[in-house]
Amino acid sequence: MTTAFPGLRLAYVAAAVFLTALAYLSAQHQAHGCAAALCCTAALLLTAARRETLAARDRRAAAVRAERAARARALADDQLADVYARGWLDLHASCCLTAWHTGGTDHDPRHCTRKDHHA
Ligand SMILES: [Zn+2]
């Protein structure tokens, strides 16, 4: 949802005030039907201003939620990159793939570079 222009709410309220003033003048000149119609129109404008306020609040809330979700995704991506980086460092620091896989408890005697661990 987009706003027609930022001052739409203010324009609605100003128009409602103007119509209310016209309704007052109409009532003073005994045009009660016209005064009632102007009051109803002013009420419609105030309702539109209220709806515009609520819509603006919803748009702000949606924007905040989208920004928070984007931040969470970026953080998750950073954390995942850290996990991958640590995994690669651990793999390069291991003497053999079996030691990396078992956390150093087992070694592959055919490929292990630390021969002193095989007995
Ligand atoms: Zn090993």
106 C-alpha vs ligand 1 centroid, how far in Å? Answer: 7
Half-sphere exposure of 92 (CA within 13 A, CB side): 6
Report helix, strand and coil shares of the chain as percent, to nearest 5.
75, 0, 25
Give the whole-angstrom CA distance, residue 58 versus residue 83. 37
Cα–ligand 1 centroid distance for 112 (angstroms)? 4
Question: Are 116 and 97 within 8 A, CB to CB?
Answer: no
Say what the pLDDT of residue 113 is.
84
| Per-residue model confidence (pLDDT) at position 119 | 46
CA 9 from chain center: how many Å?
Answer: 23
Left, alpha or beta for 20 (phi > 0: left; psi -120 to 50: alpha)? alpha
Cα(88) to centroid of ligand 1, in Å? 16
Ligand 1 center from residue 103 Cα (angstroms):
10
Tell me, in angstroms, the distance from the centre of ligand 1 to residue 12's CA: 77
pLDDT of residue 116: 57
CA distance 94 to 74: 30
What is the 110 CA–ligand 1 centroid distance (Å)?
9
- pTM for the whole structure: 0.57
The pair of structure tokens assigned to 80 is 């995942």
Q: Residue-wise pLDDT tens for the chain (119 aa)? A: 455 567 899 999 999 999 999 999 999 999 999 999 999 999 999 999 999 999 999 999 999 999 999 998 998 988 999 999 999 998 888 899 898 888 888 888 888 887 555 54
Distance CA 69, CA 64 (A): 9
Q: In Å, how far from its chain's centre is CA 97? A: 44
Q: Give the number of C-alpha atoms closer than 13 A to the C-alpha of residue 116, restricted to the C-beta side.
A: 0
